[in-house]
Chains A and B, each alone.
Chain A
């Protein structure tokens, strides 16, 4: 143990502890900007500078470890002046048009400048110019980048891709694409983790909310919106809503209040995915010799992009089932249109997703099967939904709760947990069990696949059949898992991978709270919804049963094949 004082307070911590953590242990908060625990401890922004007795300069508390007898000052005159100056320097190169920034209100730099009471900057403003394809789902604003390097580290260490890097040297050193000539040509999976870890608005998704407002306001257009499972766990985070009011049904009420004609639940198409993908798995499992093995889930477009760029030899291992978003897109402009008697060409199909890659997925030509324009016309992130609710001046707290619309507004608990890592697998196993032996397992029989991080391998007894399943989230984990499979060290049957750590709950389209990783917390919300649901099995969802009876026939049938499946090899990323 090491003894020191921080702001005259005695502190005793383990050897090797940073000053930042030592201070936190006694309740002293040192402001930070670039610091991301375990991922980006690089001391780049110099906001966490502290003074140490006997040492001339100042040290970054995030990458300086404590030593015996050290006397640290986190708020001395030297620290205060330097900290203010450093933030002024950052501001001198930051486009401070806060009112028009998507991060207005959730920006760490904005908060820090206010906290440090910076009212004037002594430096000339020198704002770099933006040069980016504004139509790409992921947008980078050079004019707002503060060079904290969090995106570089997150992409490299958590997602194992290394899309970003610090380029050049000297005063022109800046963050840019590590090797690709353009973002379109890069190996970016569009997971959006760089966005959710950016302290400012230098990285954000393409905003499509105006398209949706336009559609809502056009009397000729029928707007149908689907809401992904994970959205309900985070939709109100930026809305100042007490937690007990931030319910799933109040979210539905808010979305209805925006003016959508039909508000549907992606849980339904998650259940549909289970029927199709679960049946596909059983088909492959019983005819292993005819298929590439193991089978990979295909519901996460970030993961699908990753396979296609990083492990192209494994494309045939991906399930042919479309993602729940795209399945629903196909169903809305066919079956749903028939049932409601609406001309599918007049439907504007919108989805609200915790995801950036879904914006890309909705535009993939090979996935348009309903024959009425794009199957999903516009994809919004949870953040865009949040901004639309604010823009519409909705007093959400006073909105009475409402159910999803019918038809196709029913989802099971199995569909809800699609929104968290392991959920797809658990839901699939519940129904696979039923499909194999004709009776239901205990709905919680497969709960052991609920893992928070890394990747795990389980051997499950599914109605007497031994199924080895692997579950992982985060693409660095995925890469590791695939390398293990490729080397033959790991053998399994069914692999679920979600690109974002913690699954969609931690998705790149979710609301951002600086330095808080909320995936696990949000995942618990989803598990609670599942536990409390009357329907726990996808195959018992009456809307699903009806869909097959009235429209699709049977899982993997001809119409399913046409509308709900895709040939993965036929389209590149």
Chain B
């Protein structure tokens, strides 16, 4: 027998793995604001370096593609080259023996249409249309909050100023400190060193440490009147900035209380009312008139609003529920997540003591009702989802939180019917086991597995399979609607309806709070312009200069949660904030991209908007 040896990675192999790890971290945090042609040429060369060299398309073709892109970058490309790139891509994608070549060419092939504008610009004008993102976190934040600025203020112990600097772009610092999905952190340049700054943690720390920070002074009254329909994060953001600009703002809210989905969608253990009210009180203190329990469309005709105000902003959110479309969906014990959370938001409660609760869905709302059901005393809580756990759209920490609280996630089961007893009470959910299948639109789609239906006993079934928009009244009033979404351009302006603006969940469908805030901000600026102004809000504070600091790689301080055993029975806030020591350390990890790198050259800070 041949002599065998246990394989030990050579130093070189280990080195390559290390570089791969560095590269994947680097690429994972990429802002995407680079020249696509340059990036693709570099990627092709990297892919080619992984070629074993056996087959022609991969060994030769990938390099030829990169050369053609280089030619384009040097200003010598032609339209014929672009056609050649398409042809070569096809040959390498279709003609390679293994995935090394074919997948490399496919990556380019798929992107060619998306890069076309840039290709043409290189060909015709010899220049790139890409705009480099100077401060990655600020660019990643939909509301463009000055993150390095407020981190510097937290570092300096100027917590109230940090809150002011956040509010300059986003009037919901307390809310976002708790529940923002922090897209800023995905692009944090610190990831190139070790890991992203805990930006949300620092925001919460600033809010928790600042005490009451009053709203800034309102500009002199303009005499213009704006109606905002919907007191959720989008509507209130617009109302806040419009009011600060000096316009008279009236907010109409259909429900009894303000906050929209923040109050009626997100459970207290993630976002206590005290935090929400802190932001909303400041917003309303700028002189906004609030009318709750008024449904525009039902209680007041939309035409009346149109006649009374100079401009209207519709931010009604997405508050109705989607249907499952199975038998017995209307029977006792079946409810929608939206209805359940709304009832609780208005102060109601459910007694689930001793009951088996089954939730259908895989998003954040599904996790919210799963964990809420546990807190309402359910004997068992099961969340049924037709895809795999890794395909759930809920944040991983939400799923982990639910599991830690003794909720069960049952993946790959598609609801097929609801079983009831003779009194029409729910008794079980029947599900069809699924098998993960082909990738459709980037996600593996499930299909029915060759297994029999299964019965999951249930006293309560909660459907969390998506939200819809109550757009009927607005459609009737002439606002264009497509798939229940109110139609407006990227500036929130409704085409053909001067003065009417739409934003938030009711424009693009359910999304995150920071996207709603973004839309509110965009709408405020554009409503101001529409009414004939060009108001500049200068709400910021002076930012401490970037200090020199020596800081090597250092772990990221994460928030910890209350013990699952204790928290699962109460609606108290689950997450603990950073300690002062942790916050101080996180602040020193910030690389101050507003000062170093391209930030010092351009766009380090937008002082006014």
Contacts and interface: CB of A to CB of B under 8 A. Distances in A.
A534 B586 CA distance: 71
A8 interface: no
Interface in A49-63: 52, 54-56, 59, 63
Given A54-B550, A131-B126, A169 B132 contact: yes
A16 B552 CA distance: 23
Contacts of B600: 41-43, 63
B130 interface: yes
B38 A168 contact: yes
A55 B547 CA distance: 14
Contacts of A52: 548
B601 A149 contact: yes
B322 interface: no
A contact face: mostly helix, strand, loop, or mixed:
loop
Nearest to A181: B125
B539 interface: no
Interface string A435-476: 000000000000000000000000000000000000000000
Given A65-B545, A168-B128, A43 B35 contact: no
Contacts of A167: 127-128
A67 interface: yes
A43 B125 CA distance: 29
A61 to B, nearest CB: 10
A173 B549 CA distance: 29
A68 to B, nearest CB: 10
Contact of B596 (A56, A63, A131, A169): A63
B548 A67 contact: yes
Interface in A25-57: 41-44, 52, 54-56
B545 A170 contact: no
A44 B598 CA distance: 9
A52 B548 CA distance: 10
B541 to A, nearest CB: 16
A172 interface: yes
B contact face: mostly helix, strand, loop, or mixed:
loop
Contact of A65 (B125, B126, B547): B547
A75 to B, nearest CB: 19
A168 B548 contact: no
Interface residues of A, number: 30
A176 interface: yes
Interface in B288-318: none
B63 to A, nearest CB: 18
A42 B548 contact: no
B595 interface: yes
A56 B551 CA distance: 10
A509 to B, nearest CB: 28
A186 B75 CA distance: 20
B34 interface: yes
B141 interface: no
Contact of A67 (B126, B128, B547): B547
Contact of B34 (A54, A59, A149, A170): A170
B511 interface: no
Nearest to B127: A167
A54 B34 CA distance: 34
B546 interface: yes
Interface string B566-609: 00000000000000000000000000000110001110000000
Contact of B35 (A54, A66, A170): A170
Interface of A: 16, 41-44, 52, 54-56, 59, 63-67, 70, 131, 149, 152-153, 166-173, 176, 181
Given A63-B600, A169-B35, 11 more contacts: A42-B600, A42-B601, A43-B596, A55-B548, A65-B545, A65-B546, A67-B547, A168-B35, A169-B130, A170-B38, A173-B132
